[in-house]
Structures are given as C-alpha cells and as structure tokens.
Chains A and B, each alone.
Chain A
Amino acid sequence: MAGYFNSILTGTKSLVTGLLITQAEFFKKPVTLQYPHESLEMTPRYRGHIQLVKNPETGTHQCISCGMCQKGCPSGCITLKGVKQEGVKGKVLVQYDLDFTTCSLCGQCIENCKPGAIEFSLEYNLASTNKEDFHYDLLERVKEQK
C-alpha cells in the first residue's frame, strides 16, 4: 500500500518536472534557420566546385596556363587555353571552362597546381533542371568575384 501511494507521489513529481522543462524550452530562442531566407556560412574546408583564386594584390587570378590541372583531371572536366601575348612574360589565360557534371571533386587539379591558382569554392546551393547550368566559365567568375 505504501508503494502504491509512493509511486503516485514520485510519478506526480516527475510529471511536474517534465512540464517545467518544456515550458522553459518554450521561452528560449529557436536554433533553426529558415533556410531559403537565411543560411549558415559554409565551413572553409567544404569541397564545392573549383574556382580560380583571386589575388587581392593584382586583383586577378594567378594561373600561368601550364595545363597541369587539365592533364591531371581523371574525368576531363577542365578545358583551358593560354595564349602568348606580346610584351607579357609567359602565357595569358584566355579560357578556363569547368564541366561540373562529370567532376567527382577528387581535388587532383588543386594538387597539381603549382602556383596555387585554383581552390574549392564554398558553393552548395546548386540545383537546376538544365545540364548547361553546370558548365562554368571560371575566368568570368574570378572577374565577378569580390
């Protein structure tokens, strides 16, 4: 009989404790983000598609058009073209296209790049019904970059 009343008392106490916890949680701020309206900044080691590194001093890329990334790419995603221009040392990059549809984000291109001219971007909001949307002109991209 003592156990009967004891279980009722301890049960009631734990029920009230539970209610107080949920009521306290109710007044705290939500921790979720409303995704399309707000989003977290991506972590710096995230592997998005590659992009040309922008040199803050010169305001442009550091590519020397050696083509090692293109050679190293197992899927043949990268198409680049450098031309010899008069009065300029080395080749000048005139085209750098990335076909992201076949890229497996292995990072061989970045490993191969001696001047460190390419890096993984932090892009993750990629969705399209059109295949062409995943063909990137990275040279154009580095110009638009802040």
Chain B
Amino acid sequence: MDLNLVHMVLFLVGIIAFAAGNAAYLVWVERKGAARIQRRTGPCEVGPAGLIQPLADGAKLMSKQIVFPDGIDKPLFMLAPMFAMIPAVMIFVTIPFGPVGFGPFADFMIVAREMNIGLLMILAFASVNVMALLLGGWSSKNKYAVISAIRGVSQGIAFEIPLVITAITIVMISGSMQLSTIVEAQAGGFWNWNWMPLQGNLFGPVSFIVFFICFLAETNRAPFDLGEAESELIAGFHTEYSSMGFGLFFMGEYANIVIGASLTTILFLGGWTSPFPEFVPVLGASSFLWFLLKIYLLIWTVVLIRWTYPRVTLWSLLNLAWKILIPFALINLLGSAVLIKILPMLGL
C-alpha cells in the first residue's frame, strides 16, 4: 500500500465527499421513497424532482444559530455531534470498495488503508456511536434527551452482542479479520457468499438475518428508533441541538447506515465479487460497481423497512435482543465452530 501524501489527501477528500454526499442524498431517497410508498410525490420544488433539496437543507442548517441552553455541560455538548460524525468518517478508511474492474486501472483497489484487523477497527469505532448518543442526551440537561440516551445505550449495548458474535462466526469461517480476505473467500458466484447455507456454513441465512437486524438496531433505524421516538421524546437525544450540531447527528446517522450496509455486504453478500461465476463475460468481473449496487439495494431495504413497520416498544426491543438474537447468534457460533473444526477432526 502506497501511503504517500497525494494518496492520503485524495482518499481523505473522497471519503468525506462520499460520506457527506451519501448522507445528504439518502435523506432525499428516504423522503422520495416514503412519499411514493404513501402515494405522494415528495420533494419536487427545489430543482428537478427535488434533487437540490439536500443542498438547500444543508445551507439552511449552516446558516442557523447554534443555541446553547442554560445549564448544559458545554464541552460535552459540543463534543457529542463530533463523536457522531468522526467515527463514521473514520470507518470508511478501512472499508474496501473493491477493484475498479475495467479500464486502465482495472486492478486498482479502492481502499484508503487496508488493515489486517479491519473488522475489529470497524466494530470498535462503531461502538463510539453509543457514546455520542449518551453524551448528547446527558449534556443537554433535558429530561427527554436523558430518557432517550438511556434507551439508546441499553439498545446499543444489547444489540452489539449478537452483532459481534455473528461477525466472529464469519471471521471463523474465512479465517481472517481483513475485509478483503473475507470478500475473496466468497468469490466465484452468489452460492459462495456467506449468507448461503453452503460452503460448510449451514447457519448462513440465520447469521445474515441476525446481523441485518442488529445493524438496523445499532444505527437506531426504524423500527428500532427508540432513541428518537418523536411521538414521545420530541427528537430524543438531539432535542436541544440546532444548526450543524443537529446536522452532524443527522449526517452521522445516515453515514452509519452506509457503513452498516457496506459491512453486511462485505461479510455476507460477497463484497465486490460478482454474483455470476468468473467465466460469464463482463458481468462476471469483480468491480466496485457490484459493491455499490449491493449496498444501495440494502439501503433501499432499510428505507422500505422504516416506512413499513411501526416502532417497537423498549420491552419488545430488548426481548428481541436477549431472548432471540443472542441465543441464535451463540448457537450459530457453536454450530459453525463444530462444522469448521470438529467435523474435519472426526474425518467427516
């Protein structure tokens, strides 16, 4: 990996642009999608099909005043939105988008810094998100924000357990924490992907569903958006935030969705590998375009889920984590371990 200055600056700009652009335009996708699902048209005034709406919203947020309410813990209050956005940008550093796949740079891997413990780094940074929620809620001296922060933390911790256990299952199967190795272990057609019950992992589909549910819950998305249950808690932990403080929380949330979708794609859906075998012309080639297609399909599912299901109660949310997901994830882990290690030892 060539880590010269140009490479660094290019990837820094690219990552920030990708994260911010996605955050802005996913809001547009979300609003348009919600509108069409409810048989409305959605934003259509600012630019063609409302395409300039995210820029107008951004300009509005930036031109607003940041309000510091009386009695807040000001340093923490200012730190919380950064904690929401910085890990989201940091995680993109190690996410491999895959090779270009065509043209003169066909073998160039689009990744800022590949690491042999990439998955661990992503999980570590992803857990900082809970911290942002807690700090934001606690420092703003607002009872709704505090209730929301308590909910968010209990939810975040409960769902991190099955998430990590499922990730460990995948690490055991592919034998590496390096994301590109995990993807390359799944190459050669969609039946090789980790979510299929082939390749010695009979529990693939269950793992995939557990991981996807945990990703929804970790990013505080509906139907698990108890942290910002607007009907009960105003806006949850970011009730007291205005201007770009709120904007950073908002962007962090959408950037986290992109990260969650990327991680699900890398761990279960074969990353940038093509769903068709290598010998199929053009479509069989690995390319970052496959990666983008997969993550955007996943993101669309996430949007669809938000506008389909009502919000769960805190009770049923924690029940889901502790009574269903954690047992299933543990059985998965044990089952995969048996399939990988013990069966070959018995000569099966």
Q: Evaluate contact between B40 and A30: CB separation under 8 angstroms.
A: yes
Contact pattern, B 255-294, Cβ under 8 Å of A = 1, otherwise 0: 0000000000000000000000000000000000000000
Q: Evaluate contact between B309 and A30: CB separation under 8 angstroms.
A: no
CB neighbours of B37 from chain A (8 A): 22, 25-26
Residues B295-321 near A (CB distance < 8 A): 301, 304-305, 307-309
A17 to chain B, nearest CB (A): 10
Rounded to whole angstroms, the CA-CA distance of A140 and B340 in the bound complex is 91
Q: Evaluate contact between B309 and A32: CB separation under 8 angstroms.
A: no
Q: Evaluate contact between B40 and A22: CB separation under 8 angstroms.
A: no
CB neighbours of B308 from chain A (8 A): 18-19, 21-22
Number of A-B contacts (CB under 8 A): 36
A8 proximal to B (CB < 8 A): yes
CB neighbours of A27 from chain B (8 A): 36
A15 proximal to B (CB < 8 A): yes
Q: Evaluate contact between A34 and B41: CB separation under 8 angstroms.
A: yes
A28 proximal to B (CB < 8 A): yes
Q: Evaluate contact between A22 and B304: CB separation under 8 angstroms.
A: yes
Contact pattern, B 32-59, Cβ under 8 Å of A = 1, otherwise 0: 0101111111001000000000000000
Q: Evaluate contact between B39 and A31: CB separation under 8 angstroms.
A: yes
Q: Evaluate contact between A18 and B33: CB separation under 8 angstroms.
A: no
Q: Evaluate contact between A19 and B39: CB separation under 8 angstroms.
A: no
B117 proximal to A (CB < 8 A): no
CB neighbours of B33 from chain A (8 A): 26
- A30 touches which of B39, B305, B324 (Cβ 8 Å): B39
Rounded to whole angstroms, the CA-CA distance of A91 and B37 in the bound complex is 61
Rounded to whole angstroms, the CA-CA distance of A29 and B40 in the bound complex is 8
Q: Name the interface size band of chain A.
A: 10 to 19
Q: How many residues of B contact A (CB 8 A)?
A: 16
- A19 touches which of B35, B40, B304, B324 (Cβ 8 Å): B304
Rounded to whole angstroms, the CA-CA distance of A26 and B40 in the bound complex is 10
Q: Evaluate contact between B35 and A30: CB separation under 8 angstroms.
A: yes
Of chain A, the residue at the smallest CB distance from B306 is A22
B215 to chain A, nearest CB (A): 16
Knowing A30-B35, A30-B36, the reply to whether A19 touches B305 (Cβ < 8 A) is: yes
Q: Evaluate contact between A28 and B304: CB separation under 8 angstroms.
A: no
Quick one: which of B39, B40, B307 has the most chain A CB within 10 A? B39
Of chain A, the residue at the smallest CB distance from B223 is A15
A39 proximal to B (CB < 8 A): no
A24 to chain B, nearest CB (A): 9
CB neighbours of A28 from chain B (8 A): 39
A128 proximal to B (CB < 8 A): no
Rounded to whole angstroms, the CA-CA distance of A25 and B219 in the bound complex is 26
Contact pattern, A 7-50, Cβ under 8 Å of B = 1, otherwise 0: 01000000100110111011111111010000000000000000
Knowing A18-B308, A34-B44, the reply to whether A26 touches B36 (Cβ < 8 A) is: yes
CB neighbours of B39 from chain A (8 A): 25, 28-32
A62 to chain B, nearest CB (A): 44
CB neighbours of A23 from chain B (8 A): 304
Q: Evaluate contact between B309 and A18: CB separation under 8 angstroms.
A: yes
24 A-B pairs with CB atoms under 8 Å apart are A8-B324, A15-B309, A18-B308, A18-B309, A19-B304, A21-B308, A22-B307, A23-B304, A25-B36, A25-B37, A25-B38, A25-B39, A26-B33, A26-B36, A26-B37, A29-B39, A30-B35, A30-B36, A30-B39, A30-B41, A31-B39, A32-B39, A32-B40, A34-B44
A residues touching B (Cβ–Cβ < 8 Å)? 8, 15, 18-19, 21-23, 25-32, 34
B residues touching A (Cβ–Cβ < 8 Å)? 33, 35-41, 44, 301, 304-305, 307-309, 324
